[in-house]
A and B are shown apart, each in its own frame.
Chain A
């Protein structure tokens, strides 16, 4: 029956890991990876591939692992993905490639993500630079934002021979990969920074501390000699609930809480940025962001409740994160929705007032709509509340760029599938086009846009 059973992978013991920020999943060893790879039956018409947003040759790279040709596995991945070490860790695999793996019908699907991570980590450890770089072609492209969309677009263009510069608003590149997703899921120094270094080795220049729309405008970037611009500015604006008490001391957006902890490394006592969480915390929401905030608060020593208005079934977070969170002792209060945050006379949070919910008819998203149960309000004591309700794109760039159209939710409108915006020479992709989505989708968009930019510049120039 081994064909239908997944090769187990090692996780840090929950009792230990709630006291540190080290990676939770330790990854496959060589032997484990080979064993798991051999489980793949190498389908002629693989059902896993179409569900991967970038259509990675999954049987191909897995076969290479099974044959112990890890270099080939990594090279295969590099043909499709710029950040396999990241996607192997954070893709919602259970809804993508692994969802339709044929083995899933009778048993457990192949651990595609974990194998991808294995091959990618192996390449990072070897310091391999994958993919060929063409001769410089003398053309310049600017990229705004250094999240997965921007980084991928920049990497693809650099490989195609372009001179590429990324402008990043924060003091460190990486986007959500460094300020949002915590170290225990995606180690910043070992993974993200190495990927950024690889990008620099391709010749990509990164200028941090440049807020496009404030420090420089899009039009001035063109004036600096860039022929095309890719905007990968993400969806960074936090959403609040607009309930009473939300401005009390001790109420944070998940972005603030995670930025303090991840980007500013507030969990380390030698860093200057403070973080306060208290003894008991309510995290409102049910997505990856909520799980990350909850597990971070736990590691900072708090008792943590995730307050979610639907049930466990509907939790939008990755399955693995929910499992890990439960193992770590995070308490889930399902079918519960906050209606007010209660404060003391000094302006600090002292508790939260919630209402019980029940599920009604399916709504537009296809999920059953939560409805408050009348008279079911109750209060419980907390020291802080973290709002993890989602984010929307920052309107700064569209507002300061003439002719760049957005929709009513501040998302940049594309006029073609391939990243072309309403203004010539400007391309966009990632969360700023889709609203908050996933790393792999942002990466895919960056890659598509790089192709379009290449075509666009070639169509205008005669010397390539």
Chain B
């Protein structure tokens, strides 16, 4: 069993849990994910690693209830435990293995949408700890859904935008990217994490702007070890398994339309109803572009 040492809420419908998982904490790197299973009947749910503490042996996850399993998971409290918690899975972010001196020369922009803000955090934090200060954009639908703002401010130059303009900048993340570039900012790399539709539109823009872009894909998964192929997607015309080859890929090469269709595979009528009900107040991704996982 993997004990939940702390469970709290970052915003309406965004939950954070700190889990006791020493083996995972010892090895995980930014960009990787874990798979959690609630109990005997549970399914295997992939979630990005949002923070870790190697000394304490803990791993932090942040998630949004969108279907049955994540809704059930949101009921868990501090002191409860997961039956299974396995990882780290997938490849670490590219920069982890890059030459640090080269990396320091790079101008990096992070673009985080909705619950995707959480997985961006370990990346900007890692860079900050290694002497690299990046720019980051957090996009949310409205003021109450902006998460981890303080944590981000400590480790990067932060720009916050809300769809409705209720907090800081107004408009979607792509607008802020345009604004920053117009203000004269230049970037070598963009890392975009959020709902697929947001990543797709960010990629369309950065391609125009000529900024190399990395995205973190979240297809449907089962084992997460390369055994089932459920997570396959097309990148640059080749079939890749997101769980072993990714989850991060060159966003300009990803076939987003196919990936978005594949994500709908188990979308049942019931699932759709759940999503619709939830979207009312949270907006599935919070990117400001999509109007939900449609």
- Please give the residue numbers on chain A whose beta carbons come within 8 Å of chain B beta carbons, in ascending order: 169-171, 179, 208-211, 214-216, 236-238, 240, 242, 246-247, 249-250, 252-253, 255-256, 259-260, 264, 270-274, 276, 346-347, 394, 396
Contacts and interface: CB of A to CB of B under 8 A. Distances in A.
Nearest to A171: B84
Contacts, number: 106
B264 A271 contact: no
Contact of B265 (A236, A237, A273, A276): A276
B226 A240 contact: no
Given A170-B223, A247-B239, A247-B258, A256 B228 contact: yes
A246 B89 CA distance: 25
Given A216-B23, A247-B239, A249-B265, A270 B41 contact: yes
Interface stretch (B101-109, B197-205, B208-216, B229-237): B229-237
A259 B35 CA distance: 15
A240 B229 contact: yes
Contacts of A242: 239
A255 B229 contact: yes
B234 A272 contact: no
Contacts of A237: 226-227
A432 B217 CA distance: 29
B23 A255 contact: no
Given A215-B27, A259-B227, A347-B261, A209 B86 contact: yes
Contact of B43 (A210, A272, A394): A272
22 contacts: A170-B225, A171-B37, A171-B86, A209-B84, A210-B86, A237-B227, A238-B227, A238-B228, A247-B232, A247-B239, A247-B262, A255-B228, A256-B230, A260-B222, A264-B222, A271-B41, A272-B43, A274-B266, A347-B262, A394-B225, A394-B227, A396-B226
A215 B24 contact: yes
B226 A215 contact: no
A435 B233 CA distance: 25
Interface residues of B, number: 39
Contacts of A253: 228-230
A464 B90 CA distance: 42
Interface in B221-258: 222-223, 225-230, 232-234, 239, 244, 258
A209 B2 CA distance: 11
Interface in B95-131: none
B268 interface: yes
A301 to B, nearest CB: 16
Contacts of B225: 169-170, 211, 236, 394, 396
Contact of B239 (A215, A246, A270): A246
The 6 closest A-B pairs by CB, nearest first: A347-B261, A256-B228, A209-B86, A273-B43, A272-B43, A253-B229
Nearest to B266: A274
A272 B72 CA distance: 11
A249 B226 contact: no
B285 interface: no
A269 to B, nearest CB: 11
B36 to A, nearest CB: 10
B46 interface: no
B204 to A, nearest CB: 20
Contacts of B30: none
A236 B233 CA distance: 19
Given A236-B227, A247-B234, A270-B41, 10 more contacts: A171-B44, A211-B86, A216-B27, A253-B229, A259-B222, A259-B223, A264-B43, A276-B265, A394-B227, A396-B244
Residue with the highest number of chain A CB atoms closer than 10 Å, among B37, B229, B266: B229
B19 to A, nearest CB: 12
Contact of B233 (A208, A247, A260, A274): A247
Most chain B beta-carbon contacts within 10 A, residue among A209, A252, A255, A274: A209
B286 to A, nearest CB: 25
Nearest to B38: A272
Contacts of B171: none
A89 B81 CA distance: 38
A354 B88 CA distance: 41
A209 B262 CA distance: 27
B42 interface: yes
Nearest to A209: B86
Contacts of B265: 249-250, 276
B38, B84, B85, B265 pick with most chain A CB within 10 angstroms: B265
Interface string B141-176: 000000000000000000000000000000000000
Given A270-B41, A347-B262, A208 B84 contact: yes
B68 interface: yes
Contacts of A208: 84
A388 B76 CA distance: 39
A246 B234 CA distance: 11
B83 interface: yes
Contacts of A170: 223, 225
